[in-house]
A and B are shown apart, each in its own frame.
Chain A
Amino acid sequence: MSVDLSQFIPSFLEESFEGLELMESSLLNLEQGDDETINSIFRAAHSIKGGAGTFGFNAVTEFTHLVETLLDEMRDGRRSIEQNDVEILLESVDCMRLLIEAIRDETVCDTNKITETSILLEHTLAIDDSASSSDNLDGHSASDSENGLSNWKILFIPEHHLVQTGNDPLFLFNALADLGELTLAANCKELPALNDIDAEELYLSWQLTLSSKASEAEIKEVFEWVEDECQLTITKDETSDKVATEEVKTTRGSANESTITEQVESKAEQKISSTISADKNTSSPAPEKTGNKAKNDLGSIRVGVDKVDSLINLVGELVITQSMLSELGNDFDLSKVEKLNSGLEELLQNTKELQESVMRIRMLPISFAFNRFPRLVHDLSKKTGKDIELILKGEQTELDKTVMEQIGDPLVHLVRNAVDHGIEPAEARIAAGKSPKGTITLNAYHQGGSIVIEINDDGGGINRQAVFEKALEKGIVDENTTLTDPQVFDLLFEPGFSTAKELSDISGRGVGMDVVKKNIQSLGGRIQVESEPGKGSTFRVNLPLTLAILDGQLVRVGSEIYIIPLITIVESLQPQKDLINRVSGDMVLYRLREDNVPVIPIYSLFNISSEFKDIESSLLVVVEADGQKIGLMVDDLLAQQQVVIKSLNDNYQQVEGISGATILGDGSVAMILDVSGIISMAHKKSEIDQQHKKNMQLKARQQISEGANC
């Protein structure tokens, strides 16, 4: 029977990505002698290899095999865990990710990097084979040749009664190990059958290899007490004659290695700089590739069983309530009204809980977004030469999946900024009396109906004066303006704004912060900056918990009902005649305290009929988006309620000024207004109107001149 394996590929991919994430985070936390961590890394690699083998993804299998071999050596303690090895393994995780992504996207990945890394891996492994330990090579190869390290072969065949004389071979070996690197192989050929074994006799013999700078005499000294009770042959290893050549070989090997590392690093740099230049082009969002990804990201989510169980319970209750109500309906009379009411109340309760439960399914702990930062900070701190510790807090805070996917990139940008601009170089930190190690803290917590993510660094803080001067230079402010701190920090989000004196490839090109702000705003969130000179700065991102539900104000225009997101509303008011001003022809402004708010009548914008055409008898809802306040003219204010957002895009297309639709209590559809869309519509409209007027004037002039000609 043949099974169509391809149906399992998506789950293989998903598990592999999870495994890779696990490998990466474990590698970053890896410490010497931490067997459990090594084991979990090994297991992750092993299951990826196994899965890839099943599906015939040979490239992945082969590559992972190398990684696994290296890990296996670490696991068995044959190899000590060196920073170098960890770096190579991290590189390898990247490569595996590339390979698996290529499978997912059905594309061919960049094989150069893979080949380089696998050569690097093979090399590390090969070195391990030729020398007794990686330690030996990585650390001391240079000094070894100077000190005349030689390999000794010792054949140690003790008499059977050795242990009866009070000698213990283990002590001997320990003493030998003190002289240098010792490997030993036991020979148990002489071991008799179990019945014949005398517990007080020693049947084993050993072959030892010692690489040490000790002389023959020193080694013999160790065996002094057992000399008469054993056969001992000590020979200088035959290869040791060629020690010099071998050393040359290994040094050449390490030379190779270093060039390869360099290559890899330069590749990585290239990659980083290219991602940055991609950032630069964010105005024209990255082409097809992202589209492809988005398609694949639709995927699945993992949901805890407890969440599903609670859902099933709730559905059970709902079914009970439903059957109760339908029974009530069978022969209904007025005496049962009370029962009906209580039944309906129960139904309301059930639906509410069900709604919450379903929303919880879409919620994932923010650690999904935070996971990438340890690696990012690790890489960046290596690159910048700053010693930085990353602290993650509130990783279990839950956030809607869609929000999570879209907040990732802005957060990366903010963390990069914190590393590059926030944390000062170690010397400056010491001079300022701070610990040379910088700290970046990522913190997430719930606050009311929103989630707050803080990116905090204990660096030098934002230089208020530099920001202001830069703004002057760019012509954003003029010299006489006095700005509050928040206003100054807000300037950071202006397009093309950077105070960095020199460009680095990490950040400082002045692109990005405005994009960050835009992205956060498009999620219905906002960003605030706090900074104290010398103490550090905090970027605080406020996001709605979910994109699927929104608090809305229902308004009526003519016979249509629209929903205005509550978060955008500044206030709603009844216009007073003396505060209405008309400027530049037909533009209506309403004086709201200090501000003059342009009034946009919804009926004319959407070409629908309305009850009131004049502002005096209408109501005004003042809303704010992109830092601009406008007044929306509506006929009536209705209820405030939570609405579930449905996309118009699914079956229709994006409509300007409308962010989506929802279904009201009576089953009818209502449109949700997109305030920033409305503002840009109004802009366009006035442009078109002006163009139109110009044309009319031109025509009129032509007619006049034609008339004159006649």
Chain B
Amino acid sequence: MDIQMLAEEIPVEGEHSLEGIDFITSGEQYLAFLLGEEQYAIDILCVEEIRSWEKPTQIPNSPNYIKGAINMRGIIVPIVDLRMKFDIGNVIYNETTVVIVLTVETTDKTRTIGFVVDAVSDVLNVDKSEIKPAPTFGGCVPQNYLEGLVNAGDNVVTILNVKALQAVEPHQVS
């Protein structure tokens, strides 16, 4: 076989070669997860790790959606059950229940918080222009947590604002 012809068959970067490996494409990446039947997503760069559910240590007199605190390599990480916080779906803990640990840096503080979700589903590539504003009425999720909606196949995925998630509102002892 002619060597020229062989060379033409060698894939060249940037052409068809890396098709299917979509994490090198442009745009932002989001980690999609399930709350009940609904799909949500967060900026993947904030995700510290995904852990399986384990029963945390209770924090006294905290709101019911704060399940407690766990030890993540020596750091005390509070655990928030997003299903309870947003009142979505049934709160059950089984094998697919996972905790997504997010680290969010704000100007004055870096916080690491774990969020309980029903399952992790996918990694999405989303171009900024594809994100549509969320409707301003209805739903259980307060407006400030919503960054927008994006279509993924037949599903609609809600992108959550990590900064808003990070700010666990201070609570008073009931």
Q: Which residues in A have some Cβ–Cβ distance to B below 8 Å?
A: 560-561, 605-608, 646-648, 650-653, 655-658, 661, 663, 667-671, 681
| Bound CA–CA A585/B77 (angstroms) | 41
List the B side residues contacting A605 at CB < 8 Å: 60
List the A side residues contacting B74 at CB < 8 Å: 646, 663
Nearest residue (CB) in B for A670 is: B57
Shortest CB-to-CB span from A252 to chain B, Å, is 56
| Bound CA–CA A623/B30 (angstroms) | 51
CB within 8 A of B60: which of A646, A651, A652, A655?
A655
Does the CB pair B59–A671 fall under 8 Å?
yes
| Bound CA–CA A651/B76 (angstroms) | 7
Known contacts A651-B76, A651-B77, A651-B111; A656/B71 CB under 8 A: no
CB within 8 A of A669: which of B60, B61, B69, B171?
B69
Nearest residue (CB) in B for A607 is: B61
Determine the interface band of chain B, counting residues with CB < 8 A from chain A. 20 to 34
Contact with A along B128-146 (1 / 0, CB 8 A): 0000000000000000000
Does the CB pair A653–B77 fall under 8 Å?
no
CB within 8 A of B70: which of A607, A647, A655, A669?
A669
Does the CB pair B168–A652 fall under 8 Å?
yes
Interface centre among B57, B60, B113, B173 (most CB of A within 10 A): B60
Q: Which residues 42-84 of B have a CB within 8 angstroms of A?
A: 56-62, 68-71, 74-78
List the B side residues contacting A667 at CB < 8 Å: 71
| Bound CA–CA A650/B112 (angstroms) | 8
Does the CB pair A606–B56 fall under 8 Å?
no
| Bound CA–CA A291/B170 (angstroms) | 20
Shortest CB-to-CB span from A630 to chain B, Å, is 16
Interface centre among B61, B76, B170 (most CB of A within 10 A): B76
CB within 8 A of B57: which of A607, A652, A657, A668?
A668
Does the CB pair A646–B76 fall under 8 Å?
yes
Does the CB pair B61–A656 fall under 8 Å?
yes
Does the CB pair A653–B69 fall under 8 Å?
no
28 pairs from A and B in contact (CB 8 Å cutoff) = A560-B58, A607-B61, A608-B58, A646-B76, A648-B76, A648-B78, A650-B75, A651-B112, A652-B59, A652-B76, A652-B78, A656-B173, A657-B60, A657-B61, A658-B59, A658-B60, A661-B57, A661-B69, A661-B76, A663-B76, A667-B71, A668-B57, A669-B57, A669-B68, A669-B70, A669-B71, A670-B57, A671-B57
| Bound CA–CA A605/B61 (angstroms) | 8
Closest 6 CB pairs between A and B? A606-B60, A669-B57, A652-B78, A663-B71, A661-B76, A646-B76
List the A side residues contacting B171 at CB < 8 Å: 653
Does the CB pair A671–B60 fall under 8 Å?
yes
| Bound CA–CA A681/B173 (angstroms) | 10
Q: Which residues 158-174 of B have a CB within 8 angstroms of A?
A: 168, 170-171, 173
Shortest CB-to-CB span from A655 to chain B, Å, is 6
Known contacts A656-B173, A669-B71; A648/B112 CB under 8 A: no
Nearest residue (CB) in B for A602 is: B60
A646-B75, A656-B173, A669-B69 known; 7 new pairs, CB 8 Å cut-off, are: A648-B76, A652-B59, A653-B171, A657-B61, A658-B59, A658-B60, A669-B71
Shortest CB-to-CB span from A673 to chain B, Å, is 9
Shortest CB-to-CB span from A649 to chain B, Å, is 10
List the B side residues contacting A681 at CB < 8 Å: 173
| Bound CA–CA A156/B70 (angstroms) | 91
Shortest CB-to-CB span from B98 to chain A, Å, is 18
| Bound CA–CA A238/B71 (angstroms) | 87
List the A side residues contacting B68 at CB < 8 Å: 669
| Bound CA–CA A650/B69 (angstroms) | 12
Shortest CB-to-CB span from A588 to chain B, Å, is 20
List the B side residues contacting A652 at CB < 8 Å: 59, 69, 76, 78, 113, 168
List the B side residues contacting A663 at CB < 8 Å: 71, 74, 76
List the B side residues contacting A561 at CB < 8 Å: 57
List the A side residues contacting B62 at CB < 8 Å: 655
List the A side residues contacting B112 at CB < 8 Å: 650-651
Does the CB pair A653–B168 fall under 8 Å?
yes
| Bound CA–CA A561/B71 (angstroms) | 14
Shortest CB-to-CB span from B59 to chain A, Å, is 6
Nearest residue (CB) in A for B56 is: A669
List the A side residues contacting B76 at CB < 8 Å: 646-648, 650-652, 661, 663, 669
Contact with A along B80-91 (1 / 0, CB 8 A): 000000000000
CB within 8 A of A653: which of B56, B71, B170?
B170
Does the CB pair B57–A560 fall under 8 Å?
yes
Shortest CB-to-CB span from B86 to chain A, Å, is 19
Shortest CB-to-CB span from A668 to chain B, Å, is 6
Shortest CB-to-CB span from B75 to chain A, Å, is 7
Nearest residue (CB) in A for B54 is: A668
| Bound CA–CA A608/B58 (angstroms) | 9
| Bound CA–CA A670/B60 (angstroms) | 11
Does the CB pair B69–A648 fall under 8 Å?
yes
| Bound CA–CA A661/B77 (angstroms) | 10
List the A side residues contacting B61 at CB < 8 Å: 606-607, 655-657
Interface centre among A648, A658, A669 (most CB of B within 10 A): A669
List the A side residues contacting B70 at CB < 8 Å: 669
| Bound CA–CA A667/B57 (angstroms) | 11
Shortest CB-to-CB span from A197 to chain B, Å, is 76
List the B side residues contacting A653 at CB < 8 Å: 168, 170-171
Does the CB pair A607–B60 fall under 8 Å?
yes
| Bound CA–CA A648/B79 (angstroms) | 12
Nearest residue (CB) in A for B111 is: A651
Does the CB pair B173–A650 fall under 8 Å?
no
Shortest CB-to-CB span from A318 to chain B, Å, is 16
Shortest CB-to-CB span from A452 to chain B, Å, is 32
Nearest residue (CB) in A for B68 is: A669
Nearest residue (CB) in A for B174 is: A607
| Bound CA–CA A657/B71 (angstroms) | 20
Shortest CB-to-CB span from B92 to chain A, Å, is 20
Shortest CB-to-CB span from A688 to chain B, Å, is 10
| Bound CA–CA A129/B68 (angstroms) | 74
Does the CB pair A651–B71 fall under 8 Å?
no
Does the CB pair A608–B60 fall under 8 Å?
yes
Does the CB pair B78–A655 fall under 8 Å?
no
Interface centre among A608, A647, A648, A668 (most CB of B within 10 A): A668
List the A side residues contacting B168 at CB < 8 Å: 652-653
| Bound CA–CA A65/B87 (angstroms) | 68
Shortest CB-to-CB span from A135 to chain B, Å, is 56
Does the CB pair B57–A655 fall under 8 Å?
no
List the B side residues contacting A669 at CB < 8 Å: 56-57, 68-71, 76
| Bound CA–CA A668/B76 (angstroms) | 10
| Bound CA–CA A597/B146 (angstroms) | 52
Shortest CB-to-CB span from A292 to chain B, Å, is 12
Does the CB pair B58–A651 fall under 8 Å?
no
Does the CB pair A651–B59 fall under 8 Å?
no
| Bound CA–CA A646/B113 (angstroms) | 15
